[in-house]
Amino acid sequence: MKKFLSIVPRWLPALLLMLVIFAFSSRTGSELPNFYDWDYFIKKGGHAFGYGLLALSYLHMFKWDIKRYWLAWLLTVLYSATDEFHQSFVPGRHAAITDVLVFDNLGAIIALLFHYFRWGKYEKVDEQI
């Protein structure tokens, strides 16, 4: 039980972000705001930002281990793909593979690279995970 309670705080940010992303993608097309000329940029930027945060929360889950950057990226892209699939069932919405391969992927990569160049390359690798 003690080990479980020590894991929960590490998982909580990722779980909360996944819940927020799921809630946003569950909104029907008519419920989405229209940002007029900036609509495309704001929505795709939101994709990149949200999935960048998700990648960092996965990395937090792995105790910021530099050997786990690839796993944080992979989990982010996999969640993105499942979320796009879910979105295909929401009225007025459609799944777009470009959201996964371009915007969500780039958001994750940029966030992980930012973390690596800002903090990651100076951290010691903890061999015990």
Q: How does pLDDT run across 11-66, given as a tens digit for each residue?
A: 999 999 999 999 999 999 899 999 999 999 999 999 999 999 999 999 999 999 98
Report d(CA 43, CA 74) in Å as an integer: 22
3-state helix, strand, coil in the chain (%, to 5): 80, 0, 20
Query: Please, are residues 129 and 65 in contact by the beta-carbon 8 Å criterion?
Result: yes
Task: Write down the pLDDT at residue 119.
Answer: 86
pLDDT, one tens digit per residue, over 79-125 is 999 999 999 999 999 999 999 999 999 999 999 999 999 987 766 55
Handedness of CA 67, 49, 41, 101 (dihedral sign): positive
DSSP assigned state of 123: S
Would you state the pLDDT for residue 120?
A: 75
Taking the complete model, does pTM exceed 0.85, yes or no? yes
Quote the CA–CA distance of 116 and 105 in Å, as a whole number.
Answer: 16
